[in-house]
Copies of this chain bind each other. A is one copy, B any other.
């Protein structure tokens, strides 16, 4: 994180702490049987970049600024969505790591959930994280004096956006394409197929996170759409960088097994384009993300976050 500008670094780390505190508070408020609660908390508190919730909050902040609204109010409105997308991201990692899927034993530097709690409890903890995300979105923030009159409509639109990003047309659909392509005898993905797979598997929830922040802040639909487009391009850049890191990074830095995709014969951007051209593609994707913001005069921390994504080393 040393490559970050100091202002962004502080902004991100303050928001990350707020998200972590809100996540823990939410998890503990639910009436959850002990073993399930421990499995859920284990995965949620394993750390991670918190990219998706930070995008929710940064998008809400930037949208509020452009509307002349108070940033604190936008944070309050968007925090449940920030937590929800992290719960969803976490569940997807827990299920993705299962023996029947990627069969990963290490994640974020710790044994994966099924190694610690068993496969059955890992599956259930993922199911519970996903369901609790929607419970949170439906419940919070509660209508209270001073709340926007269209709060219920914003919440419904946020639920719709996040469910679409996470569901059959989005994240889970992308995982299914990935799994199907890895089946014995299946034809390998070509460049277009790889891009399509990643657009769903990673891009959709990143784009949905950015859009959700804008929706909760009350942005008009053109701004929501432009911020969603920013998120889609950012998601592609993020995935390319991830593929490059998988080739270049060391296991200790990543907190997960490096070179695993290549070893498994999975298609990656560097495999198709080489490392140098992959990095160029990531930069171009970030440029497109920034152009989408500029088109509606939105900035805040969003441009800096996009640059952070391609400068990261883990």
Q: Are the CB atoms of A166 and B131 closer together than 8 Å? A: yes
Count residues of A near B (Cβ-Cβ below 8 Å): 52
A126 CB contacts on chain B under 8 angstroms: 127
Q: Are the CB atoms of A168 and B131 closer together than 8 Å? A: yes
A98 CB contacts on chain B under 8 angstroms: 120, 123
Q: Are the CB atoms of B176 and A33 closer together than 8 Å? A: yes
A139 CB contacts on chain B under 8 angstroms: 160
CB within 8 Å of B: which of A25-62? 30-33, 35-37, 40
Q: Are the CB atoms of A32 and B168 closer together than 8 Å? A: yes
5 smallest beta-carbon distances between A and B, as pairs: A100-B119, A135-B163, A131-B167, A36-B176, A32-B168
Given A98-B123, A156-B138, A159-B138: A167 in contact with B33 (beta carbons within 8 A): no
A100 CB contacts on chain B under 8 angstroms: 118-120, 123
Look across to chain B and name the residue whose beta carbon is closest to the beta carbon of A139.
Answer: B160
Q: Are the CB atoms of A163 and B177 closer together than 8 Å? A: no
Look across to chain B and name the residue whose beta carbon is closest to the beta carbon of A158.
Answer: B138
**CB < 8 Å neighbour of A123 from B32, B123, B128:** B123
- Say yes or no: is A172 at the interface (Cβ < 8 Å to chain B): yes
A112 CB contacts on chain B under 8 angstroms: none
Highest count of chain B CB atoms <10 Å: which of A33, A137, A200: A33
Q: Are the CB atoms of A167 and B120 closer together than 8 Å? A: no
Given A30-B168, A167-B30, A169-B30: A179 in contact with B120 (beta carbons within 8 A): yes
CB within 8 Å of B: which of A94-135? 95, 98, 100-101, 118-121, 123-124, 126-128, 130-132, 134-135
- Say yes or no: is A155 at the interface (Cβ < 8 Å to chain B): yes
Look across to chain B and name the residue whose beta carbon is closest to the beta carbon of A180.
Answer: B35
Q: Are the CB atoms of B167 and A124 closer together than 8 Å? A: no
A36 CB contacts on chain B under 8 angstroms: 168, 172-173, 176
Q: Are the CB atoms of A179 and B124 closer together than 8 Å? A: yes
Given A40-B168, A152-B153, A163-B138: A33 in contact with B95 (beta carbons within 8 A): no
Besides A121-B176, A138-B160, 6 other A-B contacts (C-beta < 8 A) = A30-B168, A31-B169, A33-B168, A36-B176, A95-B124, A130-B130
- Say yes or no: is A175 at the interface (Cβ < 8 Å to chain B): yes
Given A152-B152, A159-B159, A167-B131: A33 in contact with B173 (beta carbons within 8 A): yes
Given A131-B167, A152-B152, A160-B135: A180 in contact with B101 (beta carbons within 8 A): no
- Say yes or no: is A164 at the interface (Cβ < 8 Å to chain B): yes
26 A-B pairs in the complex with CB atoms less than 8 angstroms apart: A32-B168, A32-B173, A33-B168, A35-B176, A36-B168, A95-B124, A98-B123, A100-B119, A101-B120, A118-B183, A121-B176, A121-B180, A124-B172, A124-B176, A124-B179, A127-B127, A127-B172, A128-B168, A130-B130, A130-B131, A132-B168, A135-B164, A135-B167, A138-B156, A138-B163, A155-B156
